[in-house]
Structure 1
């Protein structure tokens, strides 16, 4: 007798047993010994095959090659479960999450069960972050794995994977709870606030815990630009030695109190007319500039946008391809530091190439709120200076290679000369300044001259606010007290510029600075706010749409999640859950209770555009003939439609000239009358408002319509077959809930018959 402790192993044994029976028969063995032979051979096979489950199918070939024939590598293709689309999926008091297999997930689980049944050991190797930890938990639960190994690796290399397999662990519930808390909060904000926001604004809009603050940044910047008033101001410069070098007037001593700019053009003309100068300070000193740190996810996305013109979504796809190909380490990280192993690789690479090294390896301080679960992004092998399957991957890899290698090289060294020159015009003294830096030792700049993630500052116009020395040319070393004669002078006419619009790169930088979002979410934030048409991109600059402005106006001052500090605080709470310092339920409950109070306050304001008949909210819609406004109470029988008048509701489109109710509303009323035995009042038959009031009163009086006998017959059958019961089961199921339950089940059945034979299953994640 053979006993199996691996789920589904018995089924797999049965199939493989008969395959080996036939093989044994071909060898001419005695029939009575064939079962024993087949069983022995199958047991030997299953004892040697190990299964590793990763997220992406693109990793399978590479990892299989590394692990060898004793392993089978399969992919979950990302998440296998999700919260339901048609309901919120999370509720007080314990905020359990109600999961269901996705259509793709059901197929994946079915296939993986067979693979699990043939494996002696199962390794869950989903991505090394909170999202990956959650996927590993779902796989463990859906596949009913009692014995399993959780392994993570930051790079798809033989060394990294071998080390991971030698150090297995169990799924970290703290990381799973942190991911679930993020999911629960996002769902609560989106599903609870979006309908109220739509009613308040009269437009179909969605609110998002992280999405809405991002839209707010773009909207507020645009409004700063709209309210900006240009200031015309002046400076002066003089040139020496035939234009080889020059100096610029320091205007600060001449500014009016409280002013940032010099607006006296006559004074600027006097300064520009000066020719005789005396050197009042001459300083020459060395300066050093350290290299920028290696890439985090945020700075990588910024560099990809600036240097390669890649959108965040494109950059993350290219980085994913490089990671899956084993070319770079894990690309979702907020750490600015390389591992000790990587630093040693760079220093070993630098010596034979003549690159200058600092005495000690470089490290950078941790930034506020950084998780630092992984090292900074770097090549897995610094010997490979080029990698990637397409132009985007190759360009991104080169940026990563240069940044990671340069970060461990010596400072760039400069010889800096600064001259202060003084002159007088009448009783007024004018100070000019010249400055020049000459690179004397390139250090890290031997590899890359600039920080690829930095964009040109668009906040102000050219030149210093207070005057200075921006382009002085080749400044000589002059003696203190020496006299200099200027060749020429000119007035510098300047004007302030409005704040620059955000690009995707600079918006990500701002979000990170405010503590909003995480490495895994930056690209998704950008995609969401533009896909939903809340922000548009014009020549790489982000501009809010009318809908984006409506979201900010509808939320700001009414909901705490739109505030930057609140969003940062929540991110810190999620980190605390991951670190075991906070409880899932406490964190989610705090935000949900705040939402409840804020929604109650919003409800007292009433809709922005009330229906002229029933008082419910009118909502802007788009039809074949253009925009119109429809009452949101259509399910309660109100069929009011209004024309659009410049973005606001116009006159109601009457069904009858005398204001009689529509045929649709009358039909609904007659149906209610037949079900309840309550007659329709005579005055309501010709008055839409009166009929709406009668319908509302009757519905409130009788409560929900019970499910029909025919509906309940099907509901009982399906629940008996294992389906999750609808609300009100078994004695108080409403017609509406029964209809939704049956519609959903038969939709699944249609999918099952055409795509796969497994069926969706729901799983409730218990309170934490």
Structure 2
């Protein structure tokens, strides 16, 4: 038997059909190991050795209990070998390595295969190109995880010290993303709109706009004189100063890569990046599209030939040669652009949303290889003397000569920015070629009331596009960036627009004020490139990690030494005068004395980030020991601190103080079979009845049957 292990269970059925008899396909359900959430005692960065920078992995709970035992049995039965076929990126490479290590698969027994699409030709072709795990890719993935912690743990600790806010945290990619929002928020807040004027005149089927530059003086950018604009709008008798008609070409848009798919789906389908990522994952796992986490915007020669043949059969215009696009320097995944696995399939997906996204991907893949749209573009410049002044007007119009790709994609509904820009600039209509020096009469004119606009707020997709332009983040991280900002309270979204919260502003201001390197765009971009270099073998893992750690430690030490950047108020203990510190306990935030190790037990609740009042002491009415407020799954209650000594007194919580105890149910005539004392019928409202012994030292309990106590049934043995 041959065993193939993939990440997602959604791939299992289709791959089993492709591979046929003799194969068993199983899923790892993603990662089976991860870094621990909590570090060991004295560990500066959880799960990371600062000597070797080697991660200390722990098993994921779900995998430990379910996945790994199942996979171990299959691996033991795999007498013809194990194929590790996790996703074709760094994350997938790392998962294959974890599987090999945890399942103890010998080098001679495993084969690593990757496929960019779940189709018979691609999968069977991949089996003919077996290889071993690429440890450079594994180290590149580890480098990102380790770097996130080398930056996140000490960076977050610094932020909490400087701001006094225990809920704030830093991140390698997250913090620069929040900075973009904070800077845009500031630009919008300080923006002051300017009301200004323009003018346009109308002709038969076209119009011309007033060129205001001739009237701008000094540093002025706008016309503020309403009378001057009215004079311009009254122009009627024009002389043609210049007229020119030139050919123009418009190329089709490139195929989708991860970030442009997220942008396109956001504009055309109103899907946020997380939803687009989830839908494209399902389409990939079902075998409908190629791998969706990619930086590339090119296809293989075989695919280009297939698309050109498909277009030719339908009579669509094609360029002389297949189209290719220059790749970004940071493109590192080595995959082709996103496309349908079967071009002839017009609709695919189990839901309406999946089908809509598939259609978007398919049409973009085909259109990207069609011919340019060709136009004749006519521009004219008109002059008019009016009221002793000379006014110039301009017009631009275009006429389609050959539709090219626009015969299939009349309007690119995925390019919202281009659509808005065209609407703002506006075409002048069917501008005719005019003889230079000729006279032309305007039919009408009007003043344009204009107002400058504040910078536009980011949308989720445009923020990711900005991060990509800055070289920050990679395809597999984009949805996580957005999710993290929302979950941690740094950003909110209203009607698709992103707003930076006060907490987000606090984060950014504190990092900039303390001159921490990872908040700088250039530093984060350079670090991304270094992590990419590990994958290509141009850099060593240990060297990169050491440089990152040294930089972070230096930044943190310098910032801690500069007390002028502290914004957190200082509170001292009223009992020993040592500083109080805000602490996150199991029941939430509270303030405790920093002299705890010296014996000071002063502690008070947190009230809006400040030490609150010390709660009054309440004594147990039975043993006189202090009562304490305890938080449980069902809320708070008050219990006796003498519980370990046998005092079981408890009270409900009544707005922060012990409430009235419920009356003790009467002792019945039924006797306890263990000690002979009377039994008490305990009723759980809306749930069930049961019986307990009135003797507090007796732990005997009974089930209730028709109002009578009965012995509990012993559980059946599993042996």
TM-score, normalised relative to structure 2:
0.80
Which residue, 311, 314, 317 being the options, matches 1:353? Answer: 314
**Taking structure 1 as reference, are residues 498 and 111 closer, same or farther at Cα in structure 2, changes over 3 Å only?**
same
1:497 match:
453
Provide the rounded CA distance (Å) in 1 between the counterparts of 2:169 and 2:313: 57
Which residue, 70, 95, 102 being the options, matches 1:111? Answer: 70
1:561 match:
518
2:501 match:
545
SS of 2:83's equivalent in the other structure is strand
Q: Deviations over 1:609-642 (max 9, x none)?
A: 2222255465498999xx9863474965554437
The answer to whether the 8 A contact 1:338-1:375 is kept is yes
Which residue, 347, 366, 377 being the options, matches 1:405? Answer: 366
2:99 match:
139
2:37 match:
85
Provide the rounded CA distance (Å) in 2 between the counterparts of 1:634 and 1:534: 33
2:437 match:
481
The answer to whether the 8 A contact 2:578-2:593 is kept is no
Instruction: Please identify, of 340-349 and 399-408, the stretch whose mean Cα deviation from structure 2 is larger.
Output: 340-349
The answer to whether the 8 A contact 2:340-2:362 is kept is yes
Which residue, 542, 547, 558 being the options, matches 1:590? Answer: 547
Which residue, 148, 153, 158 being the options, matches 1:196? Answer: 158
What are the equivalent positions in structure 2 for 1:1-16 lying under 5 Å apart?
none
1:75 match:
27
Which residue, 183, 188, 194 being the options, matches 1:225? Answer: 188
**Taking structure 1 as reference, are residues 592 and 617 closer, same or farther at Cα in structure 2, changes over 3 Å only?**
farther
What are the equivalent positions in structure 2 for 1:511-530 lying under 5 Å apart?
511-530=467-486
* Deviation for aligned residue 1:584: 0.8
Say how many residue pairs are matched: 602
Provide the rounded CA distance (Å) in 1 between the counterparts of 2:610 and 2:477: 38
Higher helix residue share: 1
Provide the rounded CA distance (Å) in 2 between the counterparts of 1:382 and 1:237: 48
SS of 1:212's equivalent in the other structure is helix
**Taking structure 1 as reference, are residues 81 and 200 closer, same or farther at Cα in structure 2, changes over 3 Å only?**
same
SS of 2:354's equivalent in the other structure is helix
The answer to whether the 8 A contact 2:284-2:291 is kept is yes
Which residue, 606, 610, 620 being the options, matches 2:570? Answer: 610
Q: Deviations over 1:201-223 (max 9, x none)?
A: 12211111111111111111111
**Taking structure 1 as reference, are residues 129 and 338 closer, same or farther at Cα in structure 2, changes over 3 Å only?**
same
2:407 match:
446
What are the equivalent positions in structure 2 for 1:298-447 lying under 5 Å apart?
298-447=259-408
Instruction: Please identify, of 610-619 and 94-103, the stretch whose mean Cα deviation from structure 2 is larger.
Output: 610-619
Matched, 1:178 2:140: yes
Q: Deviations over 1:558-579 (max 9, x none)?
A: 2111111111001100111001
Provide the rounded CA distance (Å) in 2 between the counterparts of 1:306 and 1:130: 29
Which residue, 261, 281, 288 being the options, matches 2:222? Answer: 261
**Taking structure 1 as reference, are residues 201 and 459 closer, same or farther at Cα in structure 2, changes over 3 Å only?**
farther
1:722 match:
none
Segments of 5+ residues of structure 2 without an aligned counterpart are: 40-45, 618-625, 629-717
SS of 2:475's equivalent in the other structure is coil
* Deviation for aligned residue 1:548: 1.0
Provide the rounded CA distance (Å) in 1 between the counterparts of 2:585 and 2:404: 61
* Deviation for aligned residue 1:294: 0.2
2:639 match:
none
Q: Deviations over 1:221-247 (max 9, x none)?
A: 111100001111111111123xx2111
Which residue, 123, 126, 142 being the options, matches 1:161? Answer: 123
SS of 1:373's equivalent in the other structure is coil
SS of 2:55's equivalent in the other structure is strand
Instruction: Please identify, of 608-617 and 424-433, the stretch whose mean Cα deviation from structure 2 is larger.
Output: 608-617
The answer to whether the 8 A contact 2:89-2:333 is kept is no
**Taking structure 1 as reference, are residues 622 and 115 closer, same or farther at Cα in structure 2, changes over 3 Å only?**
closer
**Taking structure 1 as reference, are residues 586 and 643 closer, same or farther at Cα in structure 2, changes over 3 Å only?**
closer
**Taking structure 1 as reference, are residues 248 and 595 closer, same or farther at Cα in structure 2, changes over 3 Å only?**
same
RMSD: 2.6
* Deviation for aligned residue 1:180: 0.4
What are the equivalent positions in structure 2 for 1:557-706 lying under 5 Å apart?
557-558=513-514, 559-604=516-561, 605=563, 608-613=568-573, 616=579, 618-619=581-582, 630-631=591-592, 633=594, 636=597, 637-641=600-604, 644=607, 649=610, 653=614
SS of 2:591's equivalent in the other structure is strand
* Deviation for aligned residue 1:440: 2.4
Provide the rounded CA distance (Å) in 2 between the counterparts of 1:273 and 1:622: 74
* Deviation for aligned residue 1:648: 5.8
1:724 match:
none
Provide the rounded CA distance (Å) in 1 between the counterparts of 2:593 and 2:286: 51
SS of 1:214's equivalent in the other structure is helix
* Deviation for aligned residue 1:96: 1.2
SS of 2:51's equivalent in the other structure is coil
Provide the rounded CA distance (Å) in 2 between the counterparts of 1:55 and 1:301: 23
Provide the rounded CA distance (Å) in 2 between the counterparts of 1:330 and 1:202: 44
Segments of 5+ residues of structure 1 without an aligned counterpart are: 1-48, 465-469, 657-662, 666-756, 758-768
Which residue, 8, 22, 28 being the options, matches 1:56? Answer: 8
* Deviation for aligned residue 1:497: 0.8
1:122 match:
82
The answer to whether the 8 A contact 1:230-1:498 is kept is yes
The answer to whether the 8 A contact 1:640-1:652 is kept is no
Provide the rounded CA distance (Å) in 2 between the counterparts of 1:226 and 1:653: 41
* Deviation for aligned residue 1:580: 0.4
Q: Deviations over 1:650-691 (max 9, x none)?
A: 7754869xxxxxx899xxxxxxxxxxxxxxxxxxxxxxxxxx
Provide the rounded CA distance (Å) in 2 between the counterparts of 1:449 and 1:459: 16
Matched, 1:208 2:167: no
* Deviation for aligned residue 1:94: 1.2
Provide the rounded CA distance (Å) in 2 between the counterparts of 1:460 and 1:551: 34
Which residue, 59, 79, 86 being the options, matches 1:101? Answer: 59
The answer to whether the 8 A contact 1:202-1:617 is kept is no
Q: Deviations over 1:274-319 (max 9, x none)?
A: 1110011111222110011000000001111111111111111110
* Deviation for aligned residue 1:419: 1.3
* Deviation for aligned residue 1:130: 0.3
**Taking structure 1 as reference, are residues 632 and 214 closer, same or farther at Cα in structure 2, changes over 3 Å only?**
farther
Provide the rounded CA distance (Å) in 2 between the counterparts of 1:174 and 1:233: 59
SS of 1:51's equivalent in the other structure is strand
The answer to whether the 8 A contact 1:628-1:649 is kept is no
Q: Deviations over 1:81-101 (max 9, x none)?
A: 011111111132211110111
Q: Deviations over 1:699-722 (max 9, x none)?
A: xxxxxxxxxxxxxxxxxxxxxxxx
Provide the rounded CA distance (Å) in 2 between the counterparts of 1:519 and 1:632: 46
1:43 match:
none
